[in-house]
A and B are shown apart, each in its own frame.
Chain A
Amino acid sequence: MAGGHAHDAHDDHGDGPEVLSVSDKNPRVRTIQVKRPTPAESSYLAATAKGLGVTLKHFVKNTFSRRKNTYIETIEYPEQKFEYPERFRGLHRLMHRDDGAVRCVACMCCPTVCPAHCITIVPAQTDDNGIEKYPATFEIDELRCVVCGLCVEACPCDAIRMDTGIHAKPVEERHEAIMTKDLLLELGARSTAVQGGEGADWRGKK
């Protein structure tokens, strides 16, 4: 119990009760001065008055001063909105090519990485041999989405983003919460990212 004794030694110099005497046989046995509340303290009259003073101060300041001078920090939601940080992840959107077609090449990276399995892609072949595939169906179930943003990280061609800043809307039927490809494209915009990156010698280009 060496550690215990060291702790006791520390106690002697701390803010604990005043030690009147320490036993010779065992240093852990000692007489201390116990502080009992006085009758005035245990009647709680002074403590009650003090507490009422605190609540009264808050009441008066919150009730009678201008809103910005009060302690109240409530945001009255439908009228006022919290300003989100720039990197806030909102609803998904699908980006466009220069010609307005979907940028997604149906590589299946996002449904693979998605921990909530909320992305459903049905790939289809295109005539463009440089791209080979496009998503015939692209659906995101916003009820299952955990808003982790891994799909955006995984996307190799800047097709999916979560930078709309829009919340998932409350719905009455579950199927209404599924975002179809049309909806996702509607939120999207033209992406200027270079398809396929900047090429193999991107280090040399810098």
Chain B
Amino acid sequence: MDIVYAILDNAALKWAVLVLIMVMPLASLLTWAERRQSAMMQDRLGPNRANLGPLKIWGILHFIADAVKMIAKEDFIPGSVHRGLFALAPILALAPVLVAFAIIPFGPTVYPHVMGDVLNTYQLASGPVGDAAQQAAWAATYDDSIRAQVFQIEFGLIFYFAILTLANYGGTIAGWASYNKWALLGGLRSSSQMMSYEVSMGLSLMGMFLIWGTLEPGAMVQLQGSEPWKWGVVLWPFVPLGLVAFILFFTAAIAETKRAPFDIPEGEPEIIGYFVEYSGIRWGMFFLAEFIEIVFISAVITTVFFGGYQVPFLDPDGFRFLGDWVTVNGQQVHLGGYYLPVPHGAVVALQFGAFAIKVVLLCWLQLLIRWTLPRFRADQLMNLGWKVLLPSSLGLIMVAALAKLVSFL
């Protein structure tokens, strides 16, 4: 049995399950959701026709029709392009966003031997203690565990910033390889925008890192706990630190996806964008990368600001209101209070569901913003990035440091 769980805990398999089965369909659905939602916001109907006979479901199947169309379309490559780089650019745009999902905790740690029982959090935290028989029993129950996170590493979110910087190359190389002035302009705009906003994107999260003392997303989710007033976005150490950090990071992250109101690199009315020479599935890869990035940003914001997979008042062993935090073996355990036990399997299901709902709502919010705000001019974009977001983020770091200092005194 152990070998089965060892295989299930394998990083490649988890990545395949979490990213290819959970994220890719969501990103594909977003291609339909964006058009349908924008239609609803603009008093139109949007794509509502694709169906499989009687199965109409509001036209959701349009995403399949789109995929088939893009794969079946002619993949036209203009004569003067640099063929190698032209083929490489869409992969460079798509791969980093898929890799970055490795750090996201999609759900809690699953203990497969106690799925039907209520988890004993005190016993779990205290570790194998007592005589040999008790230690063996503990090991038999808790040694097999499956984390719903592919890559757990101390520098978690730094890994994300490092990997997502690579996505920058996708747009820039596409612009260069296309041998087209508009594409080159788009590529340059793309690289300048991404570089400007990556700075404030990283710095706006720095305050949260300071407060929690960790960069690891899984640990952040556990620190936020099940009580909603401890979640990142409502952190209020004498200033609305969490809320301001959320707004700054969200703004920078939307700029990072290169979508309206920050769609300068695409600039449909003037330069069309760095992928002007792309067609068929190569263009589809840029398109998909954009939507996966939306899902990814929603996942990061959920993790850092909205308690990740935590359901309000749901601890690993059941619903609990106003319990006491006890330190057991160096870990915080929530005990006592008004308590309703819930089996481990149900808790896992609820927490996976909570993560999915939070991510979908944040994707929806990004689409709402994209279809509401008019686009910036290139100079306004730079002004916002360097003169507003960057100083605000730096100020936020100092405030967070001060708050941390005061709380220690």
- Which residues from chain A sit less than 8 Å from chain B, CB to CB? 43, 48, 51-52, 54-56, 58-59, 62-63, 70-74, 76
CB distance A55 to B41 under 8 Å?
A: yes
CA distance A94 to B42 in the complex (A): 45
Counting residue pairs across A and B whose Cβ atoms lie within 8 Å, the total is 35
Contact B42 A74 (CB under 8 A): no
Q: CB of B373 within 8 A of chain A?
A: yes
Contact B372 A52 (CB under 8 A): yes
**Contact, CB under 8 Å: B43 / A51:** no
Asked whether A74 and B373 contact (CB < 8 A) given A56-B368, A59-B368, the answer is no
Q: In whole angstroms, what is the CA distance A50 to B39 when docked?
A: 19
B 340-390 contacts with A by CB, 8 A: 368-369, 371-373, 388
Q: Assuming A48-B373, A51-B372, A55-B372, is B40 touching A76 (CB within 8 A)? A: no
Interface code B30-43, partner A: CB below 8 Å = 1, 0 otherwise?
A: 00000001001111
- Taken together as a complex, chains A and B put the C-alpha atoms of A54 and B41 apart, in Å, by 9
A76 cross-chain contacts in B, Cβ below 8 A: 45
Cβ contact within 8 Å between A58 and B40: yes
* Contact in complex: B373, A59 (CB < 8 Å): no
Give the interface SS of chain A, mostly helix, strand, loop or mixed. helix
A59-B373 Cα distance, complex, nearest whole Å: 15
| CB–CB B373/A51 < 8 A | yes
Task: Using known A-B contacts A48-B373, A51-B372, A51-B373, determine if residue A59 contacts B40 with beta carbons closer than 8 Å.
Answer: yes
Q: Mark B12-47, 1 if CB is under 8 A from A, else 0.
A: 000000000000000000000000010011111100
20 residue pairs from A and B, CB less than 8 Å apart: A43-B388, A51-B372, A51-B373, A52-B368, A52-B369, A52-B372, A54-B372, A55-B368, A55-B372, A56-B368, A59-B37, A59-B368, A62-B40, A62-B41, A62-B43, A63-B40, A70-B43, A72-B45, A73-B43, A74-B44
Chain B, range 22-78, C-beta contacts under 8 Å to A: 37, 40-45
Name the 10 nearest CB pairs between A and B, nearest first: A71-B43, A62-B40, A55-B372, A55-B41, A74-B45, A59-B41, A59-B40, A51-B372, A63-B40, A72-B43
The residue of chain B having its C-beta at the shortest distance from the C-beta of A53 within the complex is B372
Give Cα A72–Cα B44 distance, bound, in whole angstroms. Answer: 6
Per the bound structure, the CA–CA distance linking A58 and B388 in Å amounts to: 31
Shortest beta-carbon distance from A35 to chain B in Å: 21
